[in-house]
Structure 1
Amino acid sequence: MELNLDAEVLEAYGYTKENVKITQIGTGLINRTYLLSPLSEDKKYILQHINTSVFKNPKAIADNLRAIVDYLAKTYPDYLFIKPVPTLNGAEMAHIHNEYWRMLPFIPNSVSLDVLTDPQQAYEAAKQFGKFSRVLNNFKADNLEPTISGFHDLGLRFEQFTQALNTASKELQEQAKPQIDDALAHKYILEYFKSYAHRVDFPNRVMHHDTKISNVLLDADTFKGICVIDLDTIMPGKFVSDLGDMMRTYLCACSENETDLNKIKIRLPYFQALVKGYLSEMKNSLTKTEKELILFSGRYMIYMQALRFLTDFLSNNIYYTIKYPTQNLDRAKNQFKLLYELSLNEKELQGIIEENLV
């Protein structure tokens, strides 16, 4: 495969195609990622292209990371936060032909997983995301810039759904009628969130905003957590963003592309491991209101993702990549089923939470 990598990008960091081995890696859908192995060094690096159709202000990413790096250097100097390698001229990103690139150190003897196969993996990942929140507990989150405006704003997502519903063809509305009914029936989740949103003990925090399992590095031998990665979406948010997205992506053995809804089940051991790992770091930092909303965080994020898939289907699939015309509708069905399963298991899940809050 021919690698789409401009020689000037390598030159910005002091390399050429002749003195470095380049391999395209990663399963991310937004940024292109390469592993650079310089022939004359023991170190390796990650080189990543920033997708400016998604991240319209790359400077915000660089500014946010610099602020966090400076803060951690003073408060938690031993915490592993992967900071960018500067270009030869000292810039945090390379700006080549109106495209943005950044280089990061590669962490040796580490792995990232695409699929969870053991509750202990969920524990380690949740512990790392919890630790990330804990060490930044006193950082003024509102000093950060949003890198994707409204990313986890459920109010915005419901508004977008409403607009799509009003403009969708009759045919699409008929196809999606059960899911449209589900979306409207679950609007109480948004109203419930709004009733808490302005409480003084429901603060904005520094959130990662993309807590899928592949965004944690684990030790290749012990599978102990090392650190969180993929830091572009770090910005202010409520704790429900990170914890809820872990629930959404860790608790079911199937991805949102599964069409057999009978397979969409909550794995209780994974929920227990997730909650235990997260609270091992964050129990003493969460406020009273946040502790009340732990299970709700899963509802919030699952409902939001169901809305986003449904909205895209009603909008003729303009955002998410599809392999067949009704895939986004199937994804919405999948997420509404997961939301149902979360409610079905509510009593047991809440009991697990309360055990780990003691």
Structure 2
Amino acid sequence: MELNSSNEVLAAYGFSKDNTSIAKVGSGLINHTYLIQPKSGDKKFILQQINTNVFKNPWAIANNIEAISDYLAKEFPSYYFIKPIKTLSGLEMAVVNDEYWRMLPFVSDTVSLDVLSEPEQAYEAAKQFGKLSMLLNNFDAAMLEPTIPGFHDLGLRFDQFSKALLDTSNDLKQQAKAQIEDALEHKYILDYFKSYAKRSDFPNRVIHHDTKISNVLLDNKSFIGICVIDLDTIMPGKFISDLGDMMRTYLCAFSENEVDLSKIKIRIPYFEAMIKGYLSEMKNSLTETEKELILFSGKYIIYMQALRFLTDFLNGSVYYPTDYTTQNLDRTKNQFKLLSEVFENEKILQDIIEENLIN
């Protein structure tokens, strides 16, 4: 086990190494996650260490989740929202040797998927993310603190790309020549967003910001959605962050690490299921501007991720873990291919959106 201060951390919650079994679980790359099972009793718990290299202020996460939990408990008490278990001293986290730990209830008879294999799974996931947004429609997002400032700020990401382009070596610039041209040609996506950004009916909402399929728990038999998990990035943002991230990660059968670009295709049934699931909860909460920007949300997030991979490549691949030297460049090509698929299928995709907005 990699839990260095395990006895002190466990003791903060009334456990010890002697009376619990501990196993590392999960496929997440950010936080270390463990399954804690007391040797007496049937209850299990999830113990997570917050990655302070990514989340500079762990208390912002704790405070955001507590504020949302209190609101939901008051306004929608039947909604299943996973909140951290307090330490014996009543805190949201245990702090041991400058490490931040939280304990969560383990939700039995559920599964989280790493890969979508059926459109119905996309429907259930999108429905769960949409439901959380819908329930928090009247929550004041300004009460929340950004846990990663600028996380989905496309303007910031373009500025970072521009700086990397100035500072990079001629060799890296030559290798990425075509992708740099793609990045510059698609800057109109940022300009288009800016033309909407100050509209009064384009509000900041409480947004999850990381809506990949593994962040939803599904019933392990029926695969019906149970709840949303991994709430570290829940903070103020535009609705396009959640819906766009779903489009980026649900619509293609292959991840950003696929190098055979002929495989990067949009699965229309998955798009239709995702839109249907999301709008089944959010249709009546979205403003007219937001409805207009539904498909744009995918363009925004895919372009942003392409920029981030390209920027990292130009910087020498110092942020995203890589297995070979040009992997971030390959990821960039992958994302620009996915973006081109959105444009090529735009009429089909927009027709699906319109149909689900009407019905």
How high is the TM-score relative to the length of structure 1? 0.99
Partner SS state of residue 272, structure 2: helix
Tell me the equivalent position of 1:313.
313
Q: Any stretches of 5+ residues in structure 2 without a counterpart?
A: none
Identity %: 72
C-alpha displacement of 1:219:
0.2
Counterparts of 1:211 and 1:231, CA distance in 2: 10
CA offsets per residue over residues 47-87 of structure 1, 9 Å max, x none?
00000010000110111011101111111011111010000
What do the CA deviations read for 1:159-203 (whole angstroms, capped 9, x no partner)?
A: 000000000000000000000000000000000000000000000
Q: Where does residue 239 of structure 1 map in the other structure?
A: 239
1:35 aligns with 35
CA distance in 1, matches of 2:6, 2:81: 28
Mapping of 1:219-258 within 5 angstroms? 219-258=219-258
Offset of residue 20 of structure 1: 0.6
**Could you say what secondary structure the match of 1:55 adopts?**
coil
Which residue matches 1:176? 176
Alignment partner, residue 109 of structure 1? 109
Q: Report the equivalent of 2:9.
A: 9
The answer to whether residue 141 in structure 2 is matched with residue 150 in structure 1 is: no
Deviation digits for residues 226-272 of structure 1 (CA, Å, limit 9, x no counterpart): 00000000000000000000000000000000000000000000000
Look up the match of 2:268: 268
Q: 1-side partners of 2:78 and 2:165: how far apart?
A: 50
Matching of residues 292-331 of structure 1 within 5 Å: 292-331=292-331
Q: Is 1:309–1:332's contact at 8 Å kept on the other side of the alignment?
A: yes
- Tell me, which stretches of 5 or more residues in structure 1 are unaligned? none
- TM normalised by structure 2 equals 0.99
Q: Counterparts of 1:151 and 1:78 in 2: how far apart (Å)?
A: 31
Provide the rounded CA distance (Å) in 2 between the counterparts of 1:41 and 1:136: 35
Match of 1:65 in 2: 65
Distance 2:324 2:72 in 1: 46
Note if 1:100 corresponds to 2:80.
no
SS at match of 2:69: helix
Say if 2:351 is the partner of 1:351: yes
CA contact (8 A) 1:3 1:24 kept: no
In structure 1, what residue type is equivalent to 2:263? K
Q: Distance in 1 between matches of 2:274 and 2:188?
A: 26
What letter matches 2:325 in structure 1? P
What secondary structure sits across from 1:33 in the alignment?
A: strand
Aligned pair in 2 of structure 1 residues 335, 271: CA closer, same or farther (>3 Å)?
Answer: same
Return the alpha-carbon distance in structure 1 between the equivalents of residues 257 and 328 of structure 2: 9
CA deviation string 1:271-326 (max 9, x = no partner): 00000000000000000000000000000000000000000000001100000000
Show the counterpart of 2:87. Answer: 87
How far apart, in 1, do the equivalents of 2:73 and 2:50 lie? 25
1:240 & 1:26 partners in 2: Cα distance?
Answer: 27
Distance 1:21 1:280 in 2: 41
1:2–1:75 distance in 2 versus 1, CA, 3 Å: closer
Supply the distance in 2 between the matched residues of 1:270 and 1:235 (Cα, whole angstroms).
27
Residues 205 and 237 of structure 1 are in contact (CA less than 8 Å); yes or no, is this contact kept in structure 2?
yes
| In structure 2, distance between residues paired with 1:5 and 1:192 | 49
Q: Is the 8 A contact 1:145 1:236 kept in 2?
A: yes
Note if contact 2:202-2:238 (Cα within 8 Å) is conserved in structure 1. yes
Could you say which residue in structure 2 is the equivalent of 1:204? 204
User: What is the CA–CA distance in structure 2 between the aligned matches of 1:342 and 1:240, rounded to whole Å?
Assistant: 15
Query: Is residue 245–residue 298 contact of structure 1 (8 Å, CA) maintained in 2?
Result: yes
Query: Number of residue pairs matched?
Result: 358
Instruction: Decide which moves more: 286-295 or 71-80.
Output: 71-80
Q: What residue is the counterpart of 2:139 in the other structure?
A: 139
Alpha-carbon distance in 2 for matches of 1:231, 1:5: 24
CA distance in 2, matches of 1:129, 1:28: 19
* 1:102 aligned counterpart, secondary structure: strand
Deviation at residue 6 of structure 1 after TM alignment:
2.3
1:21 aligns to what SS in structure 2?
strand
- Tell me which stretches of 4 or more aligned residues in structure 1 moved more than 2 Å: 1-6
- What CA deviation, in whole Å up to 9, does each residue of 1:7-45 have, x standing for no partner? 111111111111111110011110000010111121110
Aligned partners of 1:157, 1:2: CA distance in 2, in Å? 34
2: CA distance, partners of 1:248 / 1:153? 16
Q: Report the 3-state secondary structure (helix = DSSP H, G, I; strand = E; otherwise coil) of the residue aligned with 2:87.
A: coil
